[in-house]
Structure 1
């Protein structure tokens, strides 16, 4: 039986079309269909509602402000940046869905990450399936680096100080106090979040054998807790000279501080791992600057006046875009902006948006950010050059007080009574 040559040609063309489509799909792994357009789209899954919304909204400001500033200066490799954010509501399963949607459906060329451990893990795991780099604005916890190792993933990079090291500045300061001023007792209280438990465990190892631990309650309540009254009462009853609070938000830290104030409990020093670094949100949570006075918080090396890379541009553009003052800038916003800076420099060094090339650059190069220098450890991709800073609320401003060579002011110790 004869075959119509038109039909034969049609079949051949169909096979060629399918082959080309398959090859195009394979070559798109780690890149995007946007690569020939005038806009480069960068996706992120963030918590804009729910328990972690303070962090998510702060990161959103940082990402969008960074993109605005890059676009005003001509774009990234000549392309205007579009930030594509999906709300995960603080749910790990939704993070997985969102990253899939951003890469597979939206065809976003790049992604930026989360700071919350339980959300960052599904984020980088999902991004890795597509060969995408995942730049986390925060410091990596041991749980993240363990998950990276267990899953044989190598695509997550934490630009901030490793979480376990955050409290080392406070521990060093306390131990440096003269003998007649040094506290005698310490209370540890915190949530079950890896962000809190890892910091408290590290601090206890540093100062627990030099001070008497009268309360060891790190990891004693779920992250989802909303009533902190029983835990605050335990701290009050301990009568500890200093309190190390493993909190993760302004609301959480504020609830403890209000309870302490109500019961006239005045530790000589109080440090909270998260919350006091959220600027105006923290002042609102505790009821103003008078209550915030003397409260410590550890963080990476940023404050409004620091002479770090492009910090003057960052602070001025933040106030112009969002209002308020530079003192009200939350640490999550700083971290988000810094993550954008690392991504920008990696793209320029690679001269490409290809994720495989970007990961090679991230593993080998060094970067400058508003938080300070970034260079990733060869093994776990933590920032191996970050320096722990200690901050304290003084006269309505969050100021760097340790290490001494970076301090804006002397630490207030003991803390003013409520």
Structure 2
């Protein structure tokens, strides 16, 4: 089937394209709310997520707005800073709904925070896109109004483990470590289970307080376990601290990987030369061939992002923009703003965005979501897995620093 027929069958591209070309005059406003972390420990990731939300808004508005039924809407996003705190985000989410009167919500960064906000949006029956909240438990609560275009957390390190089994000689001893928080805990548990299923020996699996400021004891424990592979499930800030502690103690595994942050520029900058050879999981990379009617394809999104922000996009930003595309497609399909109608349209979507394939189950999980892996080569992340989108061959063992 051709790309055009795939999109037409899955999303109704003709209707969407006509919506994008509709005149901007006398438009109504589609108000979307977003409580995201713009300060606190998740500020890096929260800003990247907001960048994606904003690029979708600006792109769709520049093309005429969103067509819903016989009306065309200009998109407005109302933001609040949740300060990386779940109670604050829950309070601000209620404010967005009850005071700002938003029609839909874009979710926060962090599964822990989203667990708090989802209870609010569910009570008010406000449909929410949560691209960077992927803990399995969030989607096992029976909620009807949350949807994520991203893969769930328990599979977050599977690409790196699968890649490890292809190396010769095969690394066999694995250490898995991260902060005691919802997403890292789910990712760690999924990685331990997968590693054991693959016949790898998990020689260390532990967590540290998410507010820890000294991880030298953790690094010492990892060194004593003598792993071939160290996989970190933490966020940018604590992972930098962990890796610097490991470097000071000369902990030098053959393979070093992260579940997050591989594409975050200031994460790599903070690690300096020691970032070379680091592997990490990406939810999205620009070399993917997925397509949609708004950005065209992954390269088209990357080009638009670089034109606006003067830097390459990360998967955090891509997931945010993809959430907007998915909502837009569901709105066009539903033909009205009612959350239940849009939810039904969301469940009926079949096709692609530039971010990847889309098909939601009743729990709001994208059952077609994909994962990739990259490695820092020459200071920049390059795709190494799967082989179908590989930019460079993986370097193993990692050069010691």
Q: TM-score range by the shorter chain?
A: 0.7 to 0.9
Is 1:338 the equivalent of 2:322? Answer: yes
Aligned to 1:353: 337
Aligned to 2:47: 57
**Partner Cα distance (1:319, 1:52) in 2:** 22
Matches within 5 A, 1:391-406: 391-406=374-389
**Partner Cα distance (1:42, 1:367) in 2:** 24
**Contact 1:139 / 1:383 at 8 angstroms: preserved in 2?**
no
Q: CA deviation at 1:267?
A: 0.8
SS for the counterpart of 1:276 is: coil
**Partner Cα distance (1:404, 1:102) in 2:** 44
Q: CA deviation at 1:367?
A: 4.6
Q: CA deviation at 1:182?
A: 0.7
Structure 1 gaps of 5+ residues are 1-35
User: Deviation digits for residues 173-220 of structure 1, max 9, x if unmatched?
Assistant: 112334xx1113221211112211222222222223623332221xx2
Q: CA deviation at 1:320?
A: 1.9
User: Deviation digits for residues 73-112 of structure 1, max 9, x if unmatched?
Assistant: 0011222111101111122222221111111111112211
**Partner Cα distance (1:257, 1:221) in 2:** 14
Aligned positions, number: 366
Matches within 5 A, 1:261-276: 261-276=247-262
**Partner Cα distance (1:320, 1:299) in 2:** 22
**Partner Cα distance (2:300, 2:386) in 1:** 25
Candidates 361, 366, 370, aligned match of 1:387:
370
User: Deviation digits for residues 241-283 of structure 1, max 9, x if unmatched?
Assistant: 111112122x2222222222233322100111122232x1212
Matches within 5 A, 1:57-136: 57-77=47-67, 78-136=72-130
Candidates 146, 160, 163, aligned match of 2:150:
160
Aligned to 2:3: none
**Partner Cα distance (2:370, 2:315) in 1:** 15
Aligned to 2:15: none
Candidates 170, 190, 202, aligned match of 2:190:
202
**Partner Cα distance (1:225, 1:143) in 2:** 25
Candidates 252, 275, 282, aligned match of 1:299:
282
Q: CA deviation at 1:160?
A: 0.3
Is 1:282 the equivalent of 2:276? Answer: no
Aligned to 1:238: 225
SS for the counterpart of 1:145 is: helix
**Is the alpha carbon distance of 1:305 and 1:404 closer, same or farther for their aligned partners in structure 2, counting shifts above 3 Å?**
closer
**Partner Cα distance (2:115, 2:88) in 1:** 12
Structure 2 gaps of 5+ residues are 1-25
Candidates 230, 235, 240, aligned match of 1:254:
240
TM-score (norm 1): 0.83
**Contact 1:245 / 1:272 at 8 angstroms: preserved in 2?**
yes
Q: CA deviation at 1:57?
A: 0.9
**Contact 2:114 / 2:133 at 8 angstroms: preserved in 1?**
no
SS for the counterpart of 1:243 is: strand
User: Deviation digits for residues 390-409 of structure 1, max 9, x if unmatched?
Assistant: 22111222122112122222
Aligned to 2:201: 212
**Partner Cα distance (2:270, 2:181) in 1:** 21
Q: CA deviation at 1:339?
A: 0.8
| RMSD over equivalenced CA pairs, Å | 1.8
**Contact 2:38 / 2:82 at 8 angstroms: preserved in 1?**
yes
Q: CA deviation at 1:65?
A: 1.0
Matches within 5 A, 1:141-156: 141-146=135-140, 148-149=141-142, 153-156=143-146
Q: CA deviation at 1:139?
A: 5.4
Candidates 176, 193, 217, aligned match of 1:188:
176
SS for the counterpart of 1:64 is: helix
**Contact 1:67 / 1:81 at 8 angstroms: preserved in 2?**
yes
Aligned to 1:32: none
SS for the counterpart of 1:264 is: coil
